[in-house]
Each structure stands twice: as C-alpha cells, then as structure tokens.
Amino acid sequence: MVQTAFGQWADEEDDILADLCKRFLNRRLYKYVPLEGEHETLEAKLREAWERIGLHPDYHLQMDTPTNLPYDVYKPGSPDPEPKEKTPVLVLDDKDRLTEISLKSDIVRSIAGLHTGKYYIYYPEDLVLPHINSLKPEIRELLGL
C-alpha cells in the first residue's frame, strides 16, 4: 500500500513530496557523510547554507545519531527504577574470561547508546552539486565536494 501511495505522490504538485517519493521508488537515496562526535553548531550552519541555495533544510538535510536503546547495558550498583537488578549478558573474551557484552561488541555499544563514534549527515547530493560554489569551503570539505 505504501509503495502504491508513493507512486501516486511522485506525481504530486508538491515538489518536495514528489521528489522524496521518486527518490524512494527509484533508490536515489540521500548521500551520507559520517562525522565524529556531535556537531550542534554545524547543523545551524548547514541549515543556513541550504536555505541560501534554495533547499528546504527540514526535508533536504538530516543529522542522525542512533537513539534507540533496545539493549540496556548492565551497570552494577546503578540506581534502577525497577526493584530487581538486571542480569548482565556475559561472553567469553579471547583470554577465556567472562566479560559484559557491551565491552566486547561495537554493535551492542552502538545500540545501547554507548557508541562514541559517528553521527551522520544525509543530503541530496544531486541538488547540492549545482550550488557547490555558493557553499563555504568548510561545508564543501565536510561534504567531500
């Protein structure tokens, strides 16, 4: 049903809606650039740059970081609103010692919100490229353009 709706919306008069639907249907997804750490001031600069070149930052720019917490990391001694203490998930490390899984798994650290790694910027490269010379050098460098 959703794909059918996207197919119909791809011909809508609303340019942004039509563009987003066509991108989804034709797998012309936004380019992404990984960043190290949070960049609160960067988002404001990018939003301003997008507005200057005629793009809508609410639709043509997304800064993302994992916030879903499906695994709650075991923290011994931490205050817990539930009366029972959580049981840790233990794995054997390379020296046959039991170790809490988030200490050994990048994936678990990431989904538990402990990952200190990458934030991502998503944007429509094909819509930004024609305006590349209008962007400040720091933004061009950040986007790899």
pLDDT class of 55 with cuts at 50, 70, 90: very high
**pLDDT value of position 115:** 46
pLDDT in tens, 106-140: 777 666 655 455 688 999 999 999 999 999 998 99
Residues 92-98 have a mean pLDDT of 84
Between 27 and 110, where is the model more confident?
27
Please provide the DSSP assignment of 50-88 as one string.
HHHTT--HHHH-EEE------S----TT---SSSSPPPP
